[in-house]
Structure 1
């Protein structure tokens, strides 16, 4: 007897689904970037010997996240390009990239970085979402809930113990100054250095439940509660490890999971642990908020004063606004660092 038509259709559908689930994207499916120019050290630059010399003082360590499945990779590439272009000693900068990508995608990401920056000194680290998935609470924007937003909490655990100091940079920024100036700031006895904003209203960063609970709100007693943006930080990883900062941040994330004491993703735990105990850095090193607020992402102007770093924190990202032909005026400052290859509208073949 001929096989039942319905059974045959189900069998063919099952085979099709198996083929689709096992499909690995080809090179053509992956984001493509133009090759950046080769940036070389100036004549007066010392020669970096890290990691063969783990305590080499001439090496600048920079940490960033790379999200291969979202347009944020485009922002990361632009940020790296900007760092290299404005460095006096670009070959002395070592990049530590954190990603949730695994297996073949990990290799593809490595190839993307290598082909875009053939002379870049870098290492890829796998950050396991399992470290934080059980600690993450929903926030006002889905993008803020991604595990990679919390990877900065684990830098001291993931990076080699010989890395004692790191500059952490978000993916939605560009640097227009020599990063060595930021690297050399004196942290004094502090664990973190970042631009502070002491006139910010802390009431906005936590829920009424937080302020009505004496145990929670008392954490700010006898502290100068100055806001700082976690997208640009100089971190003393030795002091971080000694003081158990990762565990302190996780503690507040567990409280958030149970009591809902804030709405803004990974920022509030940093404020709870570090606010009032941060080495203040010149505001020029984080002209933040250029992406507007977290809900509408409207255009914003620069803060008064000099600029060394432009940061599109907030909902509006420059690459999305440029592609939609609805850019904000300041997005034109990001565009020259964009190495993304747009696919042609009409085939050349």
Structure 2
């Protein structure tokens, strides 16, 4: 798989240097196949069991544990499965990775995995357990009512869903024993050992580490009403704010709790309800609190924007440089574009991690 990925990366990079990436056509499936797969519940192939290398601590040992938090939602389940598969495949210590899934409402009752003839169509957690039967993920309830009254309409409906705001409440949701967590969106694949990102040095004061993009036009993330208000724009006084993407970030949970960062983010969400100061979901309040005061991480850990812009999701090139994590942030998701038979070239870098059974059947045909 690693050799295949490197070959795909080379092909995509070569295409990017030659000309802008465009959508390409693939083999069309019979309409009967499409209709039957669309109505069937999601079903995934069982992933192989990945085991720790000799240099890793014993399974279950707190030493060397990597805590990863992701939201779990039926609409993004296919992406979540691919992300988990990619993480386990590329780390030397897969049994040391502890997954924490945040679900809306009460978590499903713990029990044995689905048996023969049972479907995991309305239970994303059941699908995760069936696909990765050797994992023992933690499930944490996120109450949507906690944030529903704080959400303001954004440029894209998907950004307005309560689970999109769950990352703000990680420190309140995770157990007290979790002192550091890597938060990942469901539209990523990791093609390097995740322990390298997890172990970033946050120093004595930083709360969050993430790739930082100081060349981006930071002003566009806020409205004219924000920049014209001297009191509001003073929030960035003494800082050099740069854009960072909250879909990939390492968080010192203990420092977040001590610093009251949840409350600080909520305060900006309250300002937004009174006076529209931004247009993009949960990202801007994070920027208001933390931009210019995070630990910057190498850009290889978030090749973001592969889903295009938030309005149309047009195809985009890979950024120059090495790649450790690919992120389809934006409107276009690789599984939807592949299913529509109008994928972008970069979507073929996601496809090797797609365990969706219908996709495997389509490739075989």
Shorter-chain TM-score: which interval? 0.7 to 0.9
Pairing of 1:207-286 with structure 2 (within 5 A): 207-286=223-302
Q: Specify whether residues 181 and 211 from structure 1 end up closer, same or farther in structure 2 by C-alpha distance, changes over 3 A only.
A: same
8 A Cα contact 2:337 2:343, kept in partner: yes
Contact 1:202 1:225 in 2 (8 A): yes
Counterpart Cα distance in 2 of 1:338 and 1:209: 43
- Does the 8 A contact of 1:175 with 1:308 survive in 2? yes
Query: How far does residue 84 in structure 1 lie from its aligned partner after superposition?
Result: 0.3
The answer to whether 1:168 aligns with 2:179 is: no
Specify which of 149, 155, 160 is matched with residue 170 of structure 2.
Answer: 155
Deviations 1:226-264 (A, max 9, x none): 110000000000100000000000000011011010000
Matches within 5 A, 1:1-349: 30-49=41-60, 56-68=62-74, 70=75, 72-102=76-106, 108-188=123-203, 189-342=205-358
SS at match of 1:273: helix
Higher relative CO (CA 8 A, sep ≥ 6), structure 1 or 2? Answer: 2
Paired residue secondary structure (1:132): helix
Contact 1:47 1:58 in 2 (8 A): no
Q: CA deviation at 1:176?
A: 0.2
Distance 2:164 2:184 in 1: 11
Q: The residue matched to 1:43 in structure 2 has which SS?
A: coil
Please tell me whether Structure 1 or Structure 2 has the larger radius of gyration of its CA atoms. Answer: 1
Quick check: 1:48–1:58 contact (8 Å CA) kept in 2? no
Q: In the alignment, is the contact (CA less than 8 A) between 2:73 and 2:124 conserved in 1? A: no
Q: Report the RMSD for the aligned CA atoms in angstroms.
A: 1.9
SS at match of 2:99: strand
Take 1:277 and 1:102, find their aligned partners in 2: how far apart are those partners? 35
Q: 2: CA distance between counterparts of 1:117 and 1:222?
A: 47
Offset at residue 223 of structure 1 (A): 0.5
Whole-angstrom distance in 2 between the partners of 1:102 and 1:281: 35
Mapped to 1, the partners of 2:125 and 2:70 lie a distance apart of: 14
The separation in 2 between residues aligned to 1:213 and 1:57, in whole angstroms, is 49
In structure 2, C-alpha distance between the alignment counterparts of 1:343 and 1:302, rounded to whole Å: 24
TM-superposed deviation, 1:30: 3.5
Q: With the length of structure 1 as denominator, give the TM-score of the two structures.
A: 0.86
Q: Aligned equivalents of 2:109 and 2:185: distance in 1?
A: 21
CA distance in 2, matches of 1:119, 1:265: 35
| Alpha carbons of structure 1 residues 343 and 294: separation in structure 2 relative to 1, 3 Å | closer
Contact 1:35 1:115 in 2 (8 A): yes
Mapped contact 1:38–1:119 kept (Cα < 8 A): yes
Alignment TM-score, normalising by the size of structure 2:
0.82
Cα separation, 2, equivalents of 1:343 and 1:61: 30
The Cα shift of 1:131 comes to 0.7
Output the CA distance in 2 between the equivalents of 1:57 and 1:245.
Answer: 28
* 1:100–1:128 Cα contact (<8 Å) kept: yes
Conserved? CA contact 2:57–2:63, under 8 Å: no
The alignment covers a number of residue pairs equal to: 312
CA deviations on 1:277-302 (whole Å, 9 max, x unpaired) are: 00000000000000011111111111
SS in 1 for 2:358: coil
How far apart are 1:109 and its partner, in Å?
3.0
